[in-house]
Amino acid sequence: MPAVLEAKNVTKIFGGGFLSREEENVAVNNISMSLDQKNPKIIAVAGESGSGKTTLARLLLGIASPSSGSVEYDGKDLTEISRAERREFRREVQPIFQDPYGSYNPFYKVDHVLFSPVNNFKMAESRDEAVHMVNQALEMVGLVPAETLGRLPHQLSGGQRQRVMVARALLLKPRVILADEPVSAVDASLRATILDAVSRLNKELGIAVVYVTHDLTTAYQISDEIMILYKGNLVEAGNVETVIKKPQHPYTQLLIDSIPEADPNKKWGKLDMKKTQEKILTAPSVGWRK
Amino acid sequence: MTTTQKASSTKSSASKVGIEVKDLKVHYDTPDGVVKAVDGVSFSLRQGERMALVGESGSGKSTLAMALMRLTRAPGRIAGGQVIVGGQDMLDLDEEEMRLQRLNEVALVPQGAMNSLNPVMKIKNQLLDGLYDHQIRGDEKMSKEQQIEVVEKLLVAVDLAPGVAEMYPHELSGGMKQRVAIAIATSMQPRIIVADEPTSALDVVVQRNVMQTLGRLQEGLHASIILIGHDMGLVAQFSDHVGVMYAGRLVEVGPVKTVFKSPKHPYTRLLIKSLPTLSNKKDFIGIPGLPATLLNLPEGCAFCLRIGKETLTKIPWVKVDKDHYIQECKTCASYGK
Amino acid sequence: MTTVAENTSQDLTKKSFKRRLEDFGRYVRRNPSLGVGIGLLAALLLFVIIGYATYEVERFRPLSGGPDLAPFESDPYNPGTRSGGYILGTDRQGRDVMSVMIAGIPLTLQIGLIAGLIGISVGTVLAFIAAYYGGWVDQVISTIVDVGLTIPGILILIVIAVNIQSGLSVQQMGLAVSAVAWVWPARTIRAQVLVMREQLYVEIARLSGTSGFSIMFKEMLPNLAPYIGASLVGSVASAILASVGLEALGLGPFDSPTLGMTIYWNIQFSSILHGMWWWFGPPILVLAMIFVGLFLITAGLDEWSNPRLRKRV
């Protein structure tokens, strides 16, 4: 059985090319990953700005197309699928974006963002069924429908707004959810509730999740596997427990060492910055670890 | 609270008080009523120590930072209180005197400092601007050589190459711009540095680097630093003391180690619990309910409202340990334990 | 459709009428030019309404009275009509200037509204099609607009007006002016749509399976409505200006007493040389009031209509 969504040696190059004065910028360099159908997991794609993680997410979403390599959906190359298949792909691979406010049309109440996918994809037979579906999805992400529906986006907190976006994705019964920094624009105290909702979608509904983030602590908390990206390259990947607890690549080590942990007794920054950065330049990719 | 705090700072008379804030109030007049963004905050900080003020967005922490610099803008206004630095109440000064105090006595590393630099001015001139403005070198202008020397010293102090002096902001990375902002803030050797989310837009590695630079400079100057932020991790790593803000009020103040080890206020407890860690999985939960709305907030416990309870009487300050105080509300004290 | 659930808890967000009025009042206080502009136009409308109710507006036709009568001069040819003569006198051809003003203001505004509305509608539709679909569609529309902007509008209007043989009606005049009125809105609104197309909620709508048509008219148009509304005011003003220009050249509706035609007759009969201030004064004053009023409204609406300035109401 083919994977739901698979990237095969994708590379994305911006700029450069004929007549271009800009230098070539390899945003994603020869990265492969696959989302299993039978055993849906949460895969974290972690890296700092410029690591190519957002570009990789856009490739997987089909918003951008790779310079070389391919993104396959159910074993079929995204650039070659039919119109009908593409519509199906649109429904089955749902994104959650970083900005929980910009995702809302300020003109409409939050209901709009929930009911329009249901109507567009004809998910419900009747109005009552649509309302029922929306209520169920909201409850699934820990929101009370009566306190959420009928409000304008700015009347909800950042955490609520983002959970409504999770509910929106959920309504379409997707097979994959691609969450691009879903909590970085939200107060730290509200992050847990959003990530908890995402995690439940995976555990209870069997939806595969790609969690794109710069934050290793949240990645560690919710994901099964992790991919560490550095300047477009995959430097280390594998089981999240192994990678975080016993990092091998110096970049992973530096990242983990730089995280400010909420414990005054565990001081950050034990590694020597300069030496580690030199090591990163020469260290080979560690590859996939069990 | 004022009295308890004061007592604590005079007790350890070995160290001088760097900044003392008494009953500071910042109000916003809106068509729907008065919003008390900062509602009677008092604390004091010894010279050379680091204090962090944490809270969710809307807790009033950034408003407080601006008020400490007396940069509150309409429709906001400082409605009362004192900000004492070096025996002088900053709120008593007139505009011109206050202007001279900024950078000289109190300096700000602004939020998103990367956008606070002038895009069409060389870094060199942005550094010198503040110095000229405060006439540190008397009336005569510095010679070319002196200028180069001063700028180089400032840049090297924040781990930037002297060549940065001739660059424009767009040629620098986010971390470098942040360093320039720190260089500007420390150029007059201020007594107090207010850093408002200085690294919120930076990657972790850069963040760590910048914070270490800031810390080193602050120690070198023996300045006090007030770090405003929402990242409890950064607070734990960086500061000596922490003040937790909720709904425009301080609810718990104390040394970082004791507060993190045994937080006494339920909100602090939840704030710490809501943080993910790398040590053990499934150990972080969200804070229930919505952050408080500041409009027409009752006198009593603001946190009670969040968890669906009500305490209308004024909450007393209670000392729980050395330098460690909380606003003790009997109703919600054991919440989330 | 979505309406079911959206209606259930509407009261949560529905502002009372009083509250809305207060909001508007606050806005006007902050932008007094809006209030002054509305006031000027309201004064003109009031003048028209009272005029129609109390004055013999029918006397806008030629030969309603004796020619060249100064205000309040009694009419030697029609002794019975009015003891005090005509409030604003008569023109060379015996039109009562007061009646001309009362009848002319709504006619001129009508031309402006017809041309402005058509111009904005056509411009908006073209702008959305161009900006949303992009590619060659955008290329074609943008090129036409760019070329259209370089040709003086009055030239096109003269060609159109000259080619309509049988004397124009007021409505035809409006249609003629609308032929050039869509170009500028098409360009400015296209720019706005281009910006809005990049908004995250448009992306979300696309990923929610919303059709291109719905995205344009249900997602983007409502958010651009304030901007389009403010553009409409500007369009009406330029349409009036264009129509007055045409009429002054003698290419307007000859049987209608519009403000522009009044100017034309003034020029034809050299009213200034004859010192007939009561004839050339009123249309100039009224046109100035219309233009200043519309301009002040546009300026006052700027904060409301400019998405970047509109933070709080």
Please count the residue pairs, one from chain A and one from chain B, whose beta carbons lie less than 8 angstroms apart.
113
Q: Test A261 with B233 for CB contact under 8 angstroms.
A: yes
Q: Which of residues 56-95 of A touch C (CB under 8 A)?
A: 87, 90-91, 94-95
pLDDT value at residue B294: 78
Successive 10-residue mean pLDDT values, chain C, 313 residues: 36 60 78 89 94 86 80 72 72 87 93 94 93 88 91 83 76 88 91 88 87 88 88 92 89 88 91 89 94 91 64 41
Query: Considering CB atoms only, which of A102, A108, A116 is closest to C208?
Result: A116
Task: Say yes or no for a CB contact (<8 Å) between B276 and A189.
Answer: no
Task: Choose among C10, C12, C201: nearest Cβ to A103.
Answer: C201
Distances, alpha carbon C118 to alpha carbons C112, C239, C294, in Å:
10, 11, 18
**Best residue of A157, A162, A187, A189 to probe chain B, by most B CBs closer than 10 Å:** A189
Q: Are strands B249-255 and B224-229 parallel, antiparallel or unpaired?
A: unpaired
**Chain B interface, best mutation among A263, A270, A271, A273, by max B CB count within 10 A:** A263
Chain C hits for A111, CB-CB cut-off 8 Å, are 2, 5-6
The DSSP secondary structure of B21-36, one letter per residue, reads EEEEEEEEEETTEEEE
Shortest CA gap B243–chain A (Å): 15
Question: Residue A99: its chain C contacts at CB < 8 A?
Answer: 200
CA dihedral C153, C155, C156, C158 (to 10 degrees): 120
Q: Say which amino acid occupies B309.
A: K
pLDDT in tens, chain B (337 residues): 333 443 343 334 446 888 999 999 999 887 778 888 898 899 999 999 999 999 888 788 889 999 999 988 878 889 989 999 988 898 888 888 888 888 888 999 987 766 788 888 899 988 888 777 766 545 556 778 888 888 999 999 998 999 899 999 888 888 889 899 999 998 888 999 999 988 877 888 888 889 999 999 999 999 999 999 888 888 999 999 999 999 889 999 999 999 998 898 999 988 888 888 887 776 667 777 777 777 777 788 888 888 877 777 788 888 888 888 888 888 887 777 7
Question: 10 Å Cβ neighbour count for B212?
Answer: 16
- Output DSSP code: residue B143: P
Share of chain A residues as helix, strand and coil, in percent rounded to the nearest 5: 40, 20, 35
Give, to the nearest 10 degrees, the angle between helix A188-205 and helix A158-171.
Answer: 20
Lookup: tokens for B189: 């050797």
DSSP H/E element including A164: helix A158-171
**What is the structure's pLDDT at C46?**
95
Q: How far is C226 from chain A (nearest CA, A)?
A: 12
- Measure the CA–CA gap between A107 and A87, rounded to whole angstroms: 26
3-state secondary structure of B191: coil
The CA-based angle C85-C90-C92, given to 5 degrees, is 145
Task: Give residue B1's pLDDT.
Answer: 39
Distance from CA of C113 to the nearest CA of A (A): 27
Of A99, A127, A172, the CB nearest to C4: A127
Within a 10 A sphere around the Cβ of A106, how many other Cβ atoms? Answer: 15
Q: What is the mean pLDDT of residues A15-23?
A: 65
Per DSSP, B252 falls in state E
Q: Which of residues 119-178 of A touch B (CB under 8 A)?
A: 157-160
Distance between B159 CA and the closest CA of chain A, angstroms = 13
At A151 the three-state DSSP class reads coil
Q: Do A264 and B209 touch (CB under 8 A)?
A: no
In C, minimum Cα distance to A152 occurs at C13
Please count the residues of chain A. Answer: 290
The per-residue DSSP string of chain C comes to -THHHHHHTGGGTPPPHHHHHHHHHHHHHH-HHHHHHHHHHHHHHHHHHHHHHHS-GGGGSTTSS-TTPPTT---SS-TTS-TT--TT-B-TT--BHHHHHHHHHHHHHHHHHHHHHHHHHHHHHHHHHHHHH-HHHHHHHHHHHHHHHHS-HHHHHHHHHHH--S---HHHHHHHHHHHHTHHHHHHHHHHHHHHHTSHHHHHHHHTT--HHHIIIIIIHHHHHHHHHHHHHHHHHHHHHHHHHHHHTT-S-TTS--HHHHHHHHHHTTTTTTT-HHHHHHHHHHHHHHHHHHHHHHHHHHHHH-TTT-S--
Which residue of A lies nearest to B259 if distances are taken between CA atoms? Answer: A264
Chains touching A by CB (3 or more pairs below 8 Å): B, C
Mean pLDDT estimate for chain A: 88
- Dihedral pair phi/psi, residue B86, rounded to 5°: 60, 40
C226 to chain A: closest CA residue: A107
Predicted confidence (pLDDT) per residue in A77-120, tens digit: 998 999 889 888 988 999 898 887 888 988 899 999 999 999 98
Residue B226 to residue B41: CA distance in whole angstroms: 14
So what's the pLDDT on residue C13?
A: 45
Residue in A90, A99, A112 closest to C2 by CB = A112
Q: Which residue of A has its CA nearest to B205?
A: A258
CA-based nearest distance A197→chain C, Å = 20
Chain B residues touching A268 at Cβ < 8 A: 208, 237
B280 interfaces chain A, CB cutoff of 8 Å: no
**How far apart, in whole angstroms, are the C-alpha atoms of residue A40 and residue A176?**
9
**Pairs of CB atoms within 8 A across A/C:** 82
A124, A127, A129, A133 alpha-carbon torsion, rounded to 10°: 80
**Are C2 and A102 in contact (CB < 8 Å)?**
no
What pLDDT does residue C309 have? 54
Whether C5 and A97 lie within 8 Å, measured CB to CB: no
C-alpha to C-alpha distance for C261 and C253, rounded to whole angstroms: 7
The residue type at B157: A
Q: Measured between CA atoms, how close is A106 to chain B, in angstroms?
A: 21
**Sheet strands side by side (includes A25-35):** A25-35, A5-14, A68-73, A76-77
φ/ψ (deg, to 5) at C66:
-70, 155
The phi and psi torsions of A250 (rounded to 5 degrees) equal: -60, -30
Specify the amino acid at residue A186.
V
Of A192, A269, A273, nearest to B284 by CB-CB distance is A192
Which of B200, B265, B278, B303 to mutate: most A Cβ within 10 Å? B278
Q: Which residue of A has its CA nearest to C196?
A: A105
Least confident of A15-24, A54-63, B259-268, C52-61: A15-24
Structure tokens at B42: 């008092």
Contact A264 B204 (CB under 8 A): no
Which of C7, C204, C219 to mutate to probe the A interface, most A CBs <10 Å?
C204
- Does the beta carbon of B201 lie under 8 angstroms from any beta carbon of chain A? no
CA distances from C309 to C66, C227, C248, C300, C305 (A): 56, 11, 39, 12, 8
- Contact: A111, C5; criterion CB under 8 Å: yes
User: Is A146 near chain C, with CB under 8 Å?
Assistant: yes
What is the mean predicted confidence (pLDDT) over A12-21?
A: 72
User: pTM of whole model > 0.90?
Assistant: no
B290 Cβ under 8 Å from any chain A Cβ: yes
Residues of A in Cβ contact (< 8 Å) with C13: 109, 150-152, 155
For residue A55, name the pLDDT band (cuts at 50, 70, 90): very high
Number of Cβ within a 10 Å radius of residue B10: 10
Q: How deeply is A273 buried, as exposed, middle or buried, from its count of CB atoms within 10 A (0-12, 13-18, 19+)?
A: middle
- Contact yes or no for A168 and C9 at CB 8 A: no
Q: Which chains touch C (3 or more CB pairs under 8 A)?
A: A
Q: Which of C1, C12, C201 to mutate to test the interface with A (most CBs of A within 10 A)?
A: C201
A interface mutation test: which of B51, B54, B56, B228 has the most A CBs within 10 A?
B56
Chain A residues near residue B272 by CB distance under 8 angstroms: 262
Residue with tokens 């105080």: B325
Q: What's the gap between Cα A72 and its chain centre?
A: 17
Is B268 buried (19+), middle (13-18) or exposed (0-12) by CB count in 10 A? buried
- Identify which of C9, C204, C219 has the shortest CB distance to residue A149: C9
